[in-house]
Amino acid sequence: MSLHQFVRDVPDFPKAGILFRDITPLLANAEAFKQAVEAMAQPVLNLQPTHVLGLESRGFIFGSALAQKLGLGFVPARKPGKLPLPTHKEAYGLEYGADALEIHTDAFGPGDRVLIVDDVMATGGTADAARRLVTRSGAHPVALTVFIELTTLPGREKVQGLPVFSVLRY
């Protein structure tokens, strides 16, 4: 089955000029979602990650499923103010604004190998902030895996040499 059929294009969301790739049809179809998770897991099996870092919020969905499949712990990268203990924080820019991600300061330690997971990579700002968070914690970011990569935007260049794996490319 082609996973492209489970991605809806929504023009002008969240603001004019943005073409949003809606993955809710994929998530609603058990077989398509399973196929997507399998495709995201396959290229990272030999990297020997110890943890999965899922980026808020749709990265939680794919990240949790990948952590389960790979038998790894899951760590959420949250928006500011959502975590109860001391955090590391990294700001980033978006196609349509600015934001930041946080992880607990004890989320990772030296020797941890972290797979970063998100639903979509566009400009790479979110992924790069996540890469910086992992590095700041003393761990090693091993790769970024995403369901969708928007190839017309400079995401790969932004993550500074981090291997990037994507299932669908637009």
Q: How many domains does the chain have?
A: 1
Q: Examine residue 4 and state whether it is found in any structural domain, yes or no.
A: no
Q: Examine residue 120 and state whether it is found in any structural domain, yes or no.
A: yes
Backbone CA torsion sign across 128, 88, 64, 79: negative
Domain that holds residue 72: 37-169
Q: Examine residue 88 and state whether it is found in any structural domain, yes or no.
A: yes
pLDDT, average across residues 89-116: 91
The pLDDT value given to residue 98: 86
Helix (H/G/I), strand (E/B), else coil: 107: coil
CATH number of the domain enclosing 109: 3.40.50.2020
Ramachandran category for residue 25: left, alpha or beta (phi over 0 → left; psi -120 to 50 → alpha)? alpha
Find residue 164's DSSP bridge partners.
Answer: 144
Q: Examine residue 11 and state whether it is found in any structural domain, yes or no.
A: no
pLDDT tens-digit readout, 18-31: 899 999 999 999 99
Residues annotated as catalytic are 58, 95
pTM over 0.85: yes
The pLDDT value given to residue 14: 87
pLDDT tens-digit readout, 144-159: 999 999 999 999 999 9
Q: Examine residue 17 and state whether it is found in any structural domain, yes or no.
A: no
